[in-house]
């Protein structure tokens, strides 16, 4: 069944997810949507030292926004920050070193950030695709810890700050790969059966879609969205999917093309005219399930996911003294 799902994903992607798909879709874009001044607004981008995260941060910086780069690797992050400042002339670019696979670090960062900064837009971009089952020091499977639990904690920890902001938004970078997965709450850490890193990643991305839909229901003052950037030529794709990269490298989107919808969701007035909780591709809301794919989940499973992630997250939260 795995080969069939991969084939469906691959064939569909050939048409829509490549550079050609972007170029076709972009003929219908309104450039004015993103020609905006966002000076005075604060944006936080996770995984911002390369790929789609850096491309997004750079475009926001060009538009005058204050940008908080949340990165794991200090050296690469400093290089990225310097590049963004130099290319955009925007000095309001701040760096925070956080490992999104480490829930304790995220809690500590978020609690400190709330006391020191304002925030209008959170962009959950950090992610990983680890192809062999790897357990973190906290006993968590690495993909789940980063893509699902890390995204959950970062968002829920910063919701109180976002609730205070004007035109608050949360954008999560997912993947079209989630279309081949039905939510599975019985094995969140992929400990049962053979480990397939690509399918684990796709399951995590399905979980992010469910998270977005649930958050949209719970927090009416914040606009939530989740998106698929298409297949872009990023360092993560090259390292995690080398065979795919070699096969598709001449058809992949640029990092800027992959980041386009993230930027649109983060800065345009048009994005928030659409309902909260939708899944986007190339500036358009698209279905979260393929026809006849049998990937719909009962509402109780989606609610249970939120309960389970809340339980996980609280295990790693320490109460600050005083």
Catalytically active residues, by annotation: 201
Asked if 74 and 97 count as a contact pair (C-beta separation under 8 A), the reply is yes
Give me the phi and psi of 312, to 5 degrees please: -55, -50
Q: How far apart are CA 286 and CA 295, in angstroms?
A: 15
Backbone CA torsion sign across 240, 212, 164, 63: positive
Alpha-carbon separation of residue 71 from 85, 135, 178 (angstroms):
16, 20, 24
CA angle 206/45/68 to nearest 5° reads 160
How many C-beta atoms surround the C-beta of residue 181 within 10 A? 21
CA distance 263 to 260: 5
Whole-angstrom distance, CA of residue 88 vs CA of residue 90:
5
DSSP, collapsed to helix, strand or coil, labels residue 89 as coil
Query: What string of H, E and C letters represents the secondary structure of 91-153?
Result: CCEEEEECCCCCHHHHHHHHHHHHHHCCCCEEEECCCCCCCCCCECCCCCEHHHHHHHHHHHH
How many helices (H) and strands (E) are present in the chain, helices listed first?
A: 12, 8
């Amino acid at each position: 069944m795995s080969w069939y799902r991969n084939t469906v994903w691959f064939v569909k992607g050939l048409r829509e997810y490549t550079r050609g798909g972007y170029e076709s879709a972009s003929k219908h874009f309104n450039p004015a949507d993103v020609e905006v001044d966002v000076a005075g607004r604060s944006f936080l981008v996770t995984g911002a030292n390369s790929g789609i995260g850096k491309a997004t941060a750079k475009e926001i910086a060009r538009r005058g926004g204050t940008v908080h780069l949340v990165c794991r690797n200090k050296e690469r992050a400093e290089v990225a920050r310097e590049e963004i400042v130099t290319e955009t002339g925007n000095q309001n670019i701040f760096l925070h070193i956080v490992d999104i696979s480490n829930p304790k670090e995220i809690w500590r960062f978020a609690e400190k950030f709330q006391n020191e900064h304002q925030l209008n837009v959170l962009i959950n971009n950090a992610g990983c695709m680890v192809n062999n089952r790897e357990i973190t020091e906290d006993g968590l499977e690495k993909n789940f810890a980063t893509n699902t639990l890390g995204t959950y904690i970062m968002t829920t920890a910063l919701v109180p700050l976002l609730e205070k902001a004007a035109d608050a938004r949360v954008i999560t970078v997912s993947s079209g790969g989630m279309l081949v997965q039905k939510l599975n709450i019985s094995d969140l850490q992929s400990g049962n059966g053979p480990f397939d890193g690509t399918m684990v990643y796709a399951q995590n991305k399905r979980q992010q879609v469910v998270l977005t839909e649930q958050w949209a229901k719970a927090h009416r003052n914040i606009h939530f969205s989740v998106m698929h950037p298409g297949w872009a030529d990023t360092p993560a794709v090259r390292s995690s999917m080398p065979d795919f990269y070699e096969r598709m490298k001449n058809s992949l989107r640029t990092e800027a093309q992959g980041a386009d919808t993230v930027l649109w969701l983060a800065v345009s007035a048009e994005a928030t005219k659409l309902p909260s909780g939708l899944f986007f591709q190339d500036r358009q809301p698209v279905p979260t399930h393929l026809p006849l794919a049998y990937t719909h989940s009962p509402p109780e499973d989606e609610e249970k996911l939120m309960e389970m992630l809340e339980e996980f997250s609280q295990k790693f939260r320490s109460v600050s003294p005083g």
